[in-house]
Amino acid sequence: MRAAIYHGPHAIALGERPDPTIQLPTDAVVRVVLACVCGSDLWYYRGESPHELGPIGHEFIGVVEEVGSDVRGLVRGDLVIAPFIFSDGTCAHCRAGWMPSCVAGGSFGNHGVDGGQGEAVRVPFAETTLVAVPGSGHSDETLRSLLTLSDVACTGHHAALSANVQPGNTVAVVGDGAVGLSAVLAAARLGAERVIALSRNPARQALARAFGATDVVPERGEEAVARVLELTGGVGVDAAMECVGTGQSMTTAFAIARPGSIVGAVGAPHGVHVPIERVIFSNIGLRGGVAPARRYIPELMADVLEGRMNPGLVLDFETDLEGVASAYEAMDQRRAVKSLIRIGTV
Ligand SMILES: [Zn+2]
């Protein structure tokens, strides 16, 4: 089968991979319909994080082609959403709802497991990993939004939940990539009254407003902190979401968070320092991490299917499998918020 192959920094090309087959009775083979590139993929694309040479991609939706003899509740032809991590659903961590720590789990497009940026994927622990989408004849807009539930929309939701966003809150989001914009959408969905988006990019500011942002702060660093404190009467926000993973974004998040609040952090950390002084002397907590997407998908999927939200708007660049390298370039050069790779049809 054809699949995107990582050959090293800035070197991604279409190549051949063996057709996936059922290897364990708990497997399924999924034919990929839509996939996309994640901001976290850019770290290895830029050579700033290690990644094995080979298959890539951890965000996809597709159609079940085959299931193993132990798989219940999924049949050939089902449209499914794959969370970016596969998990057994039975270990202590999965049962507690923390699938990213599953003792037997892992992520797609890593350690030899097929990546989502290819024609098909062998999905381990299919029954406890995949989420079947009810209904049929879904619009392309709906399919794009369902795709974002694989990771980015769930990660934005995780940032908002981790920061304990409550109805009526004033909150702020640091980061205007797809995760940051998804956190704006999530905070608004959870009832935040005022959502401050930190972004100086006009197109992303517009998308933040479409997702529910009430204020946009184009400044960066200390100027951004001053602006947010000005907007909140010097108090700070009830919840700050850190959605980039850099030292500056973490510093900004802690600086705008009001005493007693929680910073929800979901950015893959690179050179991040947690200001323990703010934790101790201002009682500001830190929570977050890799999103348990499998836990959030059913709830968010219902909102997408009923048209209550359209997280797919973050996908502002599109190509097919042949154009996979351009999908990375567009995001790397910030010409795109998030790149869609159209691979098959439902
Ligand atoms: Zn588990």
Instruction: Write down all domains in the chain, each with its CATH number in brackets.
Output: 2-151+292-342 (3.90.180.10), 154-288 (3.40.50.720)
Average pLDDT score over residue span 296-303: 98
Is 95 exposed, middle or buried (CB count within 10 Å of its CB: 0-12, 13-18, 19+)?
A: exposed
Full-prediction pTM beyond 0.85?
yes
Residues 308-312: contacts with CB under 8 Å, at least 24 apart:
308/189, 309/145, 309/185, 309/189, 310/141, 310/145, 311/145, 311/148, 311/149, 311/152, 311/153, 311/156, 311/182, 311/185, 312/141, 312/142, 312/143, 312/144, 312/145, 312/146, 312/147, 312/148
Confirm if 91 and 316 have CB atoms less than 8 A apart: no
CB contact at 8 A, 302 and 146: no
Share of the chain above pLDDT 90, in %: 99
DSSP tag of 103 = T
What residues are neighbours of ligand 1 (ion), with CB under 5 Å?
87-88, 91, 94, 102
* pLDDT value for 189: 98
CA of 104 to the centre of ligand 1 (A): 6
Distance (angstroms) between ligand 1 centre and the Cα of 15 equals 32
CA distance 331 to 328: 5
Q: What pLDDT was estimated at residue 111?
A: 80
CA distance 131 to 85: 12
Residue 110 confidence (pLDDT): 85
pLDDT of residue 21: 97
Give percent helix, percent strand, percent coil of the chain, each to the nearest 5.
35, 25, 40
102 C-alpha to ligand 1 centroid (Å): 3
Q: Is residue 156 classed as helix, strand or coil in its secondary structure?
A: helix
Query: Would you say 29 and 122 are in contact if contact means Cβ atoms under 8 Å apart?
Result: yes
The CB-side HSE value for 295 (13 A sphere, CA atoms) comes to 18
Whole-number pLDDT of residue 313? 98
Going from the Cα of 316 to the center of ligand 1, the distance in angstroms, rounded, reads: 34
- The predicted model gives 170-182 an average pLDDT of 98
By three-state DSSP, how is residue 96 classified?
coil
Q: Is 109 left (phi over 0), alpha (psi -120 to 50) or beta?
A: left
| Distance in Å, CA 50 to ligand 1 centroid | 25
CA of 151 to the centre of ligand 1 (A): 18
Ligand 1 centroid to 262 CA: how many Å? 27
The mean pLDDT value for 25-33 works out to: 98
pLDDT at 306 over 90: yes
Residue 330 Cα to ligand 1 middle (Å) = 35
What is residue 112's predicted lDDT score, i.e. its pLDDT? 81
pLDDT in tens, 187-244: 999 999 999 999 999 999 999 999 999 999 999 999 999 999 999 999 999 999 999 9
**pLDDT beyond 90 at 297:** yes
Please give the distance, rounded to the nearest whole angstrom, from the Cα atom of residue 140 to the centre of ligand 1. Answer: 33
What digits encode the pLDDT tens for the residues 259-283? 999 999 999 898 999 999 999 999 9
| pLDDT at position 99 over 90 | yes
Task: Name the band, by pLDDT with cuts 50, 70 and 90, for residue 5.
Answer: very high
Rounded distance, CA 259 to CA 255, Å?
10
CB neighbours of residue 344 within 10 Å: 15
pLDDT, tens digit, for every residue of 100-131?
Answer: 999 999 999 988 899 999 999 999 999 999 99
Tell me what pLDDT residue 282 has.
Answer: 98
CA 87 to ligand 1 centroid distance, Å: 5
